[in-house]
Amino acid sequence: LPASMYTEVQRERPDGGSNLTHPDYIDGNPDLIKPKKLLNPVKASKSHQELHRELLLNHKRGLGVESKPELQRVLEHRRRNQLIRQKKEEEEAKKLQSPFEKELLKRHQRLDQLEKEKEKQEDHPPEFIKVKENLRRTSTVAGDEKAA
C-alpha cells in the first residue's frame, strides 16, 4: 500500500515527470474531434518570421546587434521630429502675427517694463526722502526729551 496519494500520483506518470495534463478524451474513439494547438499570431506573422530569420543569420555571421535597440532609436527619432515640428509651428505663428497683435505685444512689454521700474523706485526711494525721515525722527525724539 502506498504511504500517501502523492506517491501514487508520482508512480502513475508514464511520461517521465512532465507537467502537461492528460487529455480527457480517449485516443481510440474516432467520433471525437481532437483539439489542435492554437497558433501564436505574433509568431505566425511574416514580419516576425523575417525578423527572427535575420537575427539568426546575423548571429551566425557574428555580427553584433547595434548599440541601441530599435525601439530606443525609433523613440529618439520621433522626439527629434516632434521638436522640429514644434519649432516650425512657433516660427509660423510668429510670421503670421498681424500688425495689431505685434503692437499689442510691444505695449504689453512696455507696461511690464514700467511696472518693474516702479517696483525698483519703491524699493529705493531718493536719498533726500531718507534724510527728511531721519530729521523727523530726531526732532520728535528731541521734543519728547524736552517735555519729560
Convert the pLDDT of each residue in 24-54 to its tens digit. 555 667 777 778 888 888 888 898 889 888 8
Cell of 109: 512689454
**Cα–Cα distance for residue pair 139/80, rounded to 1 Å:** 71
φ, ψ (nearest 5 deg) of residue 12: -75, -15
Domain extent, residue 107, equals 70-123
Query: Is residue 88 situated within a structural domain?
Result: yes
Query: Would 25 be classed as within a structural domain?
Result: no
Domains of the chain: total: 1
The C-alpha atoms of residue 55 and residue 49 are separated, in whole angstroms, by 10
Per residue in 63-101, pLDDT (tens digit) is: 665 566 788 888 999 999 999 999 999 988 888 778 888
Structural domain contains residue 60: no
Residue 47 inside a domain? The answer is no
Asked if the structure places residue 42 within a domain, the reply is no
Q: Is residue 78 part of a domain?
A: yes
In a domain? residue 114:
yes
Write the CA distances from 133 to 61, 124, 130, integer angstroms.
90, 14, 5
Q: What pTM was computed for the model? A: 0.26
